[in-house]
């Protein structure tokens, strides 16, 4: 990663002091837009995830005063227990977004429910249920970067060309993927350390089993600082990845967006972030400006104020669910009536399937397991069942004899959203049957791995006896697909100066973990929009 510049440092300082003081406005200069009802900001970015963070940084660098509105909280300062985020194995209210119980992806062990009661609070991980599909998303300054597994994977070029054929792949692979990887601080595990450390014993075991069945494995780059992890194992620094931390946030070691893009964006002096601000409604005035209805939330999720806020340039970076819902609501309640039929289409879960295998008693996975995966089984070139399976930890702090995987499969099925007036929300239409191709693909490969190693599947991990869990996704993609709901640079059809900048642009699949693709695409799009659309001064 490039050395931290003075501006970047100023951004980090602003985040830290806002967190320490419990402020919901974060800026390096006095806030550019006043918060009164009817205030106007030249550019507004909704959300603070990958697409949003890229967009705000580049707008800020171009001198455009930009306001970011994030419904979650700022997670940058330790609470009374000395931790910013909830411990993973004994979760508290910080773990989940406005829930009375945790809702973990691994629901059970030996069929015993591993979830626990928590106080309802604006925590960092949300699970949004839509019948046969539940979607996990991050809430807070940094969006998904706060809760994700940090795997930073650039998709195979041939597959990228297939999913987004109209995007110039030479440009993406020559300019924007390298730019994204550099700015995100992507690094790779030292292979020598990997072979000898305790923390990846589980990955080495899964690799041995995969190789025995004739599969290829590959290291997975990460935005978790592997040097920090090495020092965790050496006992030199406080543990995070090696203290089982992952989906409820990492207290150390992770280069989440608040450490990278967002700190740099704040450092430009042109970007302000407001937290606990949920955008509900978008209208367009006769003069072409956009007006947002914004709910101010308290930490229990109650609406404590409601304001109107105007902007000339509006960027939606609220994620696949969030941005899609905003535009569907706008179309179907008539505030942006010219939005087309493509809004809400082309959604997919990136073919996610989770599964566990039971190991022989002599095959130990280790009691210390890094929460950050570093290895994947790469069968993406399989002509019948392309699968990229990350070798996931099961970091319980005791030996469980389980090998866990999150498989990304190539599932051609797509879901769609409709607006439900009764609940004023978007409903995803995705059936269990649509998830079947993913299960068939995962089964084809893991049956082979089991056969080669004389092992069996676990039946006790997902609340019932199923082996393959595809009723949730970590990777929601699509809803506002590039080239259909928007033009080829994320400009929403029919509405000048309205842009989509996040995972909703990608039509349902990337073949790998998606945040590098989302980041690179956002870099490409904002460069064009800045050059062609944005008036300065």
Residue ranges in contact with ligand FAE by CB under 6 A: 46-52, 69-72, 136-140, 143-144, 147-151, 247, 278-279, 317-320, 322, 326, 474-475, 502-503, 513-515, 518
- Rounded Cα–Cα distance for residues 215 and 213 (Å): 6
Task: Give least dist CB 503 to ligand FAE, A.
Answer: 3
**Which one, 144 or 310, has the nearer CB to ligand FAE?**
144
Nearer Cβ to ligand FAE, position 419 or 515?
A: 515
Buried b (16+ CB within 10 A) or exposed e, 76-114: beeeeeebbbbbbeebbbbbbbbbeebbbbbbebeeeeb
Nearer residue to ligand FAE within complex by CB, 14 or 88? 88
The residue written with tokens 């995803």 in the block is 428
Q: Residue 358 CB, nearest distance to ligand FAE (Å)?
A: 24
Cα–Cα distance for residue pair 168/176, rounded to 1 Å:
11
Min separation Cβ 135 and ligand FAE, Å: 8
User: Tokens representing 87?
Assistant: 């411990």
Closer residue to ligand FAE, CB minimum distance, 72 or 356:
72
Q: Which residue has the tokens 């994700």?
A: 148
Residue with smaller CB distance to ligand FAE, 136 or 462: 136
Q: What are phi and psi of 163, to 5 degrees?
A: -80, -30
- From the candidates 245, 281, 390, 469, give the one annotated as an active-site residue: 390
Q: Which residue among 70, 342, 475, 523 is the active-site one?
A: 475
Residue length, the chain? 537
Rounded Cα distance, 261 and 267, in Å: 10
Nearest approach, Cβ of 442 to ligand FAE (angstroms)?
18
Smallest gap, in angstroms, from Cβ of residue 168 to ligand FAE?
21
Shortest distance (Å) from residue 141 CB to ligand FAE: 7
Interatomic CA distance for residues 369 and 227, integer angstroms: 16
Count CA within 13 A, CB hemisphere, residue 232: 27
Residue 296 contacts residue 39 (beta carbons within 8 Å): no
Question: Residue ranges of the alpha helices (H) in 22-94?
Answer: 50-61
Residues in CB range of 332: below 8 A, 6 or more apart? 419, 421
Bridge partners (DSSP) of residue 51 are none
Structure tokens at 522: 């956002």
CB 194 within 8 A of CB 374: yes
From residue 291, give the alpha-carbon distance in Å to each of 15, 283, 321, 535. 27, 5, 21, 19
390 is catalytic: yes
Q: Which is nearer to ligand FAE, 250 or 434 (CB)?
A: 250
Closest approach, Cβ 82 to ligand FAE, in A, equals 24
- Name the residue nearer to ligand FAE (CB basis): 366 or 511: 511
Can you spell out the DSSP letters for 290-307?
Answer: EEEEEEEE-TTS-EEEEE
Closest CA to 119 of 102, 142, 140, 138: 102
Q: Can you count the helices (H) and strands (E) in the chain?
A: 12, 23
**Token pair listed for 49:** 């995830």
Smallest gap from residue 390 Cβ to ligand FAE (A): 8
Distances (CA, A) of 490 to 195, 216, 355, 522: 43, 36, 35, 9
| Catalytic site includes residue 475 | yes
Token pair of 126, please?
Answer: 């949300």
Q: How far is the CB of 95 from ligand FAE (least distance, A)?
A: 12
Taking the least distance from each CB to ligand FAE, the nearer of 123 and 322 is 322
Query: Given the complex with ligand FAE, which of 215 and 224 has the nearer CB atom?
Result: 224
Which sequence positions are flagged as catalytic?
390, 475
């Amino acid at each position: 990663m490039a050395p931290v510049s003075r501006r970047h440092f100023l951004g980090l300082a602003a985040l830290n002091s806002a967190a320490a003081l419990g402020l919901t406005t974060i800026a390096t200069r006095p806030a550019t837009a006043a918060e009164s009802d009817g205030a106007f900001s030249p550019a507004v970015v909704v959300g603070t995830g990958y697409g949003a963070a890229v967009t705000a940084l580049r707008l800020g660098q171009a001198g455009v005063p930009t306001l970011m509105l994030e419904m979650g909280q700022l997670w940058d300062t330790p609470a009374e227990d000395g931790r910013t985020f909830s411990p993973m194995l004994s979760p508290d209210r910080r773990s989940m977004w406005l829930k009375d119980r945790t809702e973990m992806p691994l629901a059970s062990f030996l069929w015993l429910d591993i979830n626990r009661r928590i106080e309802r609070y604006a925590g960092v991980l949300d699970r949004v249920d839509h019948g046969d599909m539940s979607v996990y998303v991050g809430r807070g300054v940094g969006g998904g970067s706060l809760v994700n597994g940090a795997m930073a994977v650039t998709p195979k070029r041939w597959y990228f060309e297939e999913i987004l054929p109209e995007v110039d792949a030479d440009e993406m692979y020559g300019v924007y993927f390298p730019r994204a990887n550099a700015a995100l601080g992507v690094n790779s595990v030292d292979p020598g350390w990997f072979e000898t450390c305790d923390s990846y014993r589980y990955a080495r075991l899964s690799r041995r089993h995969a190789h025995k069945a004739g599969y290829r494995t590959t290291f997975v780059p990460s935005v978790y600082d592997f040097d920090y992890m090495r020092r965790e194992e050496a006992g030199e620094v406080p543990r995070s990845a090696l203290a089982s931390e992952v989906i409820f946030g990492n207290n150390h070691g992770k280069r989440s967006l608040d450490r990278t893009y967002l700190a740099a964006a704040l450092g430009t002096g042109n970007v302000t972030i407001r937290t606990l601000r949920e955008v509900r409604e978008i209208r367009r005035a006769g003069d072409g400006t956009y007006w947002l209805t914004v709910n101010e939330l308290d930490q229990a999720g109650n609406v404590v104020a409601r304001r109107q806020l105007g902007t000339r340039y509006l960027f939606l970076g609220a994620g696949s669910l969030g941005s899609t819902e905003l535009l569907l609501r706008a179309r179907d309640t008539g505030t942006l009536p010219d939005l087309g039929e493509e809004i809400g289409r082309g959604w997919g879960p990136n073919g996610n399937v989770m599964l566990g295998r039971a190991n022989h008693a002599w095959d130990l996975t280790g009691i210390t397991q890094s929460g950050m995966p570093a290895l994947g089984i790469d069968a993406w070139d399989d002509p019948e069942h392309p699968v990229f399976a990350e070798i996931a930890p099961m970091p319980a702090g005791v030996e469980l004899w389980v090998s866990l995987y999150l498989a990304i499969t190539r599932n051609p099925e797509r879901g769609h959203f409709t607006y439900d007036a009764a609940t004023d929300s978007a409903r995803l239409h995705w059936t269990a049957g649509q998830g079947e191709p993913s299960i068939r693909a995962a089964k084809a490969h893991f049956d082979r791995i089991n056969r080669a190693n004389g092992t069996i599947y676990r039946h006790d991990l997902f609340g019932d006896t199923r082996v393959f869990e595809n009723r949730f996704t970590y990777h929601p993609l699509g809803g506002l697909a590039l080239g259909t709901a928007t033009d080829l640079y994320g400009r929403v059809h029919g509405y000048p100066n309205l842009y989509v900048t996040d995972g909703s642009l990608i039509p349902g699949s990337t073949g790998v973990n998606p945040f590098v693709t989302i980041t690179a695409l956002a870099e490409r799009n904002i460069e064009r929009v800045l050059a062609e659309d944005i008036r300065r001064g």
